[in-house]
């Protein structure tokens, strides 16, 4: 399994733009996918289809579409039995490695748990990917 920091070192193109095979559900302006390096099981990402680095670059239509997708992700996670869900936004060049604004929807994250219970984030296995997709598709 690849460590997240190793993955970041090897990025040459935007991973959200270059490979759309990981899309679970899409709307006109954005798509829902699984986090390849999740904080917890069923960690989802909402990504605008258009490559933008900042929230301020999003159009009103894109913002509305992303709101719709966040509600969809929330609905799915609640149907999977989660009661505590965190929404987090990553944007800009200086505070993350992927320069494409994206939105995390993370079930059962604890305050201060951005280090995954003290463990380094690891890449989701193919088995984990298939289970995540299967679990989510039941509610689409």
Where in the sequence is the domain holding 56, given as residue range(s)?
4-137
Do 56 and 47 contact (CB within 8 A), yes or no? no
Q: What is the CATH number of the domain that holds 64?
A: 3.30.428.10
pLDDT at position 55 is: 92
C-alpha to C-alpha distances, 16 to 30, 75, 85, 96, 104, nearest whole angstrom:
11, 23, 23, 14, 13
Domain total in the chain: 1
pLDDT at position 18 is: 83
Q: What is the pLDDT of residues 33-48, one digit of tens each?
A: 999 888 888 999 999 9
């Amino acid at each position: 399994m690849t460590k997240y920091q190793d993955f970041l070192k090897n990025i040459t193109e935007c991973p959200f733009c270059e490979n759309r095979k990981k899309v679970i559900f899409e709307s006109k302006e954005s798509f829902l996918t699984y986090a390849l390096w999740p904080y917890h099981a069923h960690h989802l990402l909402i990504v605008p289809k258009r490559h933008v680095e900042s929230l301020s670059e999003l159009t009103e239509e894109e913002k509305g579409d992303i709101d719709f997708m966040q509600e969809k992700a929330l609905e799915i996670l609640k149907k999977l039995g989660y009661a505590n869900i965190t929404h987090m936004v990553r944007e800009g060049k200086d505070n993350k490695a992927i320069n494409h604004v994206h939105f995390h929807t993370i079930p059962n994250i604890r305050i201060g748990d951005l280090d995954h219970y003290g463990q380094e984030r690891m890449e989701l296995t193919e088995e984990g990917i298939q289970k995540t997709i299967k679990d989510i598709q039941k509610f689409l």
